[in-house]
Structure formats: C-alpha cells, structure tokens
Amino acid sequence: MITKAQLLCKNIVLKVVQSMKRFPEAIFFYCATTLILIYMNHIAYNKATFDFLTRIAMILALGAVVFLCIRTFLERKHPVAIKTTIAIYASAIIGLFIYFFLLLDELNTVSVTRYTALSLSLYLLFTFIPYFRKKGSYELYVITLFTRFFITYLYSIVLFLGLAAIIYTIDTLFGVNIDGSLYYDIWLIVACAFAPAYFLAEIPGQQDSLYVENYSKVLRVLLLYIVMPILIIYTAVLYAFFVKILLSGEWPGGIVANLVLWYSIISTVVLFFIYPLRSKDNLVKHFISLFPKFIIIPLIMMFISLGIRINAYGITENRYFVLVAGLWVSGCMIYYIISKNITNIALSVSLALIMTLSVIGPWSSYSVSKYSQRARFEKILKENQMLAQDGSIIPSNALSSDEKETLTSILYYFEKNHELSELGLLPVDFQLEDTPKVLGFEPYMHGDYKYFGLHIGKGQVLIDINDYDFFYDIYPYRNGKDTDEGELDISYREREHYLKISSKAETVYEKNVADIAREIIDKNKGREELDVNEMLYTDENENIKVLYVFNHINGREENESVIVEYIDFKLFIKIK
C-alpha cells in the first residue's frame, strides 16, 4: 500500500516536472495568477484594489495561454534561432502590457466579454497549431486533450475534497481554529496551479501518433448511445414545433433562437467528436451524412425568430453573438453537406477567427450594437420632430408610452454597457437624471426593473453600544419566528418586513423596517458600498430605544416606486 502511494506521488511529481520543462512560462503565469487570487482572499475588500488585482490576475491568465501557443509553435518549428525566440517572447510580453493598459483598463461588459472571447480564441489556437497545414487526426488530438482535461480536474476535485476533509477533521478534533479561507486557498492551488501543470504533462508531443483504437470507450458510449439519440429526439421535437407554427400561423417569442442555438452548437461538437469513428461504425457514418441536412430547418427557424427580435429592438451584443454563432454553425453544417473531403480543423480555425473579429474592430459586436441602438434613438426623435436643425434635442412629452420606453431602454443600455456620451445627440456630461430636462419625460420602463443593493464596506469602524441592553440578530429566512429574550419577546415577519417587540405580553414597539430601508436608499442613490454610520438608524418611543445596524438592503426600482425585497440587519435595544 505504501509502495503504491509512493509510486503515485512520484508519478505526479514527474508529470509536474515534465510540464515545467515543456511549458515553463505557462506554469509560471498560472502560479502567479494563483498567488494573486490567494492574496485577494486574505485582504479587506476595497473595490478599486480588487478591480486592479482582478485585472492583473486576468492578464496573467491570458499570458499563460499566450505562451502555451508560443511554446507549441516553437516545438513545431524546432530548431528556432535564439534571436527569433527572444523577439517572439519580447513581442508577447509587450503585447500583454499593451492589452492590460489599453483594453483592460477597467472591468466592464466590453472588457470582460472581449477578454473571454480572446482567451477562448487563444485556447483554440493552442489546439490547432500542431496540426495546421499538417496531416494527422486533429479530431483525435482534441479528443485526447478533452479526455485528459476532464480526468485531470476529476482528480483535482478528489484531491481537494480529501485535503479539505483532513483539515476539517484536524480543526474539529484538535480545536486548532483554522481560518475558513484556507479551504478556498487550497482549491485555488489545486485548480489553478496543480491541475494545469498535471494536464500539460499529458499533452501529446509532436512525435506522438494517435489512432482510432485509442478512442476513449467511455466517450464513445456516451456520444453514440446517449447523446446522439437525444439529439435525434430533440430534432424531432423541433420539427413537430415547426409544424405547429405552420398550422397556427403564430410565431413564438425569442426563446426559439436560444434553444436552437445551443442545440446546434452541441450538434456541431458531437459531429466533430464522432468524425474519427465514421470508418469503424456505419451508424456514425450515416449520422454524419444525414444529420446536418435535418438541422437546416431548425436553423432557419432560429434566424427568423432572431430577425423578428432585431427588427423590433435592434442589435445588442447578445443578439450579435447569437447571430454570429448561428452563422458559424450554419456554415459548419453546409460544409458537412457539400464537402467530400472534410477537414475539421477548419471548424476550429474559423471559430477562433470569428470570436476574435466579433470583439475587435469596427465590425465588432460593440461597434455594430452601438450603431444600431443609436439609429433607433435618432429615428424616434426625428419621427416626433424632436431634433432641431443644429442637431440639438427639443424636449417633448407627447411621445407614446412605447416610444418613451424604447428611448429609456437605449439610455439604460448605453449607461450599463458603454458610455452615454457614445450615444451622440445628447448634451455633454448628460446623466440619466437629466432625462426630463433634455427629453421632456421621466425615464419610463414598463415591466422592467432597476435593481439595487446596499451593503457595509469591509474594514469599517466600531459602533458604540454602551447605551443598549439587548442584542438581536435578524438573520434571513426566519420568517414569522419569535424569540424570547428574557423580558422581551421579539417577532419579525420577513415577507412583510414587520418588526414587533413586546414586553410582558404588551406591544412596546412595532415598525415596518422597509420604510427605514427606503430612507437609507433615498439618501444614497447610485451607491452600493456604504460606511457603517450610513447604515445605522435609531428609533425610539416612550417605552424603548432601538438601534438598527443594516448589513444588506436589496430591492428594485419599478417606475417611480422603490420595492425593498431583502433586508439583513441587527438590533440593539434599550428599555426605558
């Protein structure tokens, strides 16, 4: 038993050392990312600091995949002159610095989606560099990576659970009082440092040959006997739904596009994965030949549904990505239908290229979406004679409720995803609260909500509680439960936010806590993190004095009403 454990540990160490020799830069970047995340786990929360550290962690993680691609490229071109290698490394580092300061200068919708798309594109690039313009089974290579990646993280989860169980047992039995943050530290080390190092050692080298006989039996059974039948049944359901549309003459809402898109993407992945089996299994051969033809009609349904949404509401980033993904899947299916000599690496190359182009340049999702929403905004203003000759806006309250809602939604879109200044037409330094003065009406969103959440920032000052006799913690989900605190009986109904304090069966204090929460919300509109003193509220009557310490206040703004949904607070009580 001990010998087997020693062999296992030795094997793990050898694999980690092997990956460090083959991909030293990537391992360094993964470990540096892990250290940043661990550091963030142990410092007090500050938005500016956390955003900065998050950006550093993101660029380090991006650096890992960049150098994976470089190392894989250099392996293929081996030997490479030292000057060329230095030039490539220097260009990569400079590129990462430029990306950090220009494209990741802040965390918002644009920077995060762009980062995600580019990261995925680079990982795809990493998979097809060894097989680009080279003979070999690219599909088997990807399947090998996928299988070993899955196994690696399965091992990692088991390793983490084992270490966590050991630490918990030591903490429980010996009373060591271990900080709970240690569990997250261990998970970061296992998932972000150990797992990548172990996985990279499992990547086939340039000299390794892959054969269909090495195809994972588990994956084969999963795809051929579970996933493929599910796809066939799902396709039949979509066709039945299409017949229903033809008979009823009513087109459904936008959910069709999302349902078909995910189904078609999964179908494309399945076709890619089973392609090496076509010569060994007639069922696979017929599926690859026929299924792409049957998926065309569901794709047409998706484009019609998406077209209706775009015509009504214009293009946004989400609709742009759905449209582009749909076009890519359609191209893949047409490729499978018409091509006699299918090269699946073309699917990965085209996907990486499309993802990159969708987040960079004047054709990107951001540029196209801003142009579309700006055009909708200008069209409504022109239709209502709200644009003067000099391009300034003439305020008007004569618009229909639908037009007001459309203009408001466009304003919210630019505020959330971009900058209001990018909308154009609006005055310099325009803010949403200027809408009545500039457009002539209050922001109007029928059936839409603007959510808010207030909380106490970390590292706050102490509270003086000398004047109070009792403490009571109103933790969530104790709806309607009472507590007997000696001479006091306290009842809080969370759903109604109703607090009642009784003494000797007589009510001495009652309050709708939501009313207090609304006062705090009104004083701190547009903010999220408050000081302790800003989350305090004192109330009293002839019988009792109460200090509220609010931890969290969450809710939504609906039209002009403030609806409080969740309150987490503590009470300090003094009987007079």
The CA distance from 105 to 96, in Å, is 12
| 205: Cα within 13 Å, side-chain hemisphere | 9
414-443, pLDDT tens digit by residue?
Answer: 988 888 889 888 888 888 888 888 888 887
Band of residue 392 on the pLDDT scale cut at 50, 70, 90 = confident
| Residue 188 confidence (pLDDT) | 95
The enclosing H or E element of 346 equals helix 345-357
| Residue 480 confidence (pLDDT) | 44
CB proximity list for 522: less than 8 A, separation 6 or greater: 562
161-165, 238-242, 492-496, 535-539: least confident range: 492-496
CA distances to 129, 135, 197, 344 from 206, in Å: 11, 12, 19, 19
Q: Is the pLDDT of residue 522 over 80?
A: yes
The mean of the pLDDT values for the chain is 87
The CA distance from 277 to 271, in Å, is 10
The CA distance from 125 to 132, in Å, is 10
Q: What average pLDDT does the segment 81-92 reach? A: 92
159-189, pLDDT tens digit by residue?
Answer: 999 999 999 999 888 877 888 889 999 999 9
Tokens in use for 17?
Answer: 């050392």
Give 80 or 129, the one with higher predicted confidence.
129
Find, among 297, 303, 291, 317, the residue nearest to 239 by Cα: 297
154-163, 203-212, 370-379, 464-473: least confident range: 203-212
Q: Is the pLDDT of residue 452 over 80?
A: no
Find, among 458, 454, 456, the residue nearest to 525 by Cα: 454
The CA distance from 555 to 563, in Å, is 6
Q: Tell whether the torsion through CA atoms of 97, 102, 106 and 107 is positive or negative.
A: negative
Contact 144, 210 (CB under 8 A): yes
Find, among 119, 98, 104, the residue nearest to 55 by Cα: 104
210-249, pLDDT tens digit by residue?
Answer: 777 778 888 999 999 999 999 999 999 999 988 888 887 7
CA distances to 504, 514, 566 from 490, in Å: 12, 17, 19
Give 459 or 303, the one with higher predicted confidence.
303
The CA distance from 397 to 405, in Å, is 12
Give 400 or 3, the one with higher predicted confidence.
400
Q: Is the pLDDT of residue 562 over 60?
A: yes
Cβ atoms within 10 A of the Cβ of 454, count? 21
User: Percent of the chain beyond pLDDT 90?
Assistant: 44
Q: Is the pLDDT of residue 31 over 90?
A: yes
Contact 468, 575 (CB under 8 A): no
Band of residue 55 on the pLDDT scale cut at 50, 70, 90 = very high
Q: What average pLDDT does the segment 260-272 reach? A: 93
Q: Is the pLDDT of residue 520 over 60?
A: yes
Find, among 372, 359, 379, 368, the residue nearest to 118 by Cα: 359
| CA angle, residues 382, 388, 391, in degrees to nearest 5 | 90
Cβ atoms within 10 A of the Cβ of 542, count? 6
Q: Tell whether the torsion through CA atoms of 117, 118, 123 and 128 is positive or negative.
A: positive
131-140, 184-193, 326-335: least confident range: 131-140
87-96, 455-464, 530-539: least confident range: 455-464
Tokens in use for 98?
Answer: 């430029």
CB proximity list for 120: less than 8 A, separation 6 or greater: 352, 355
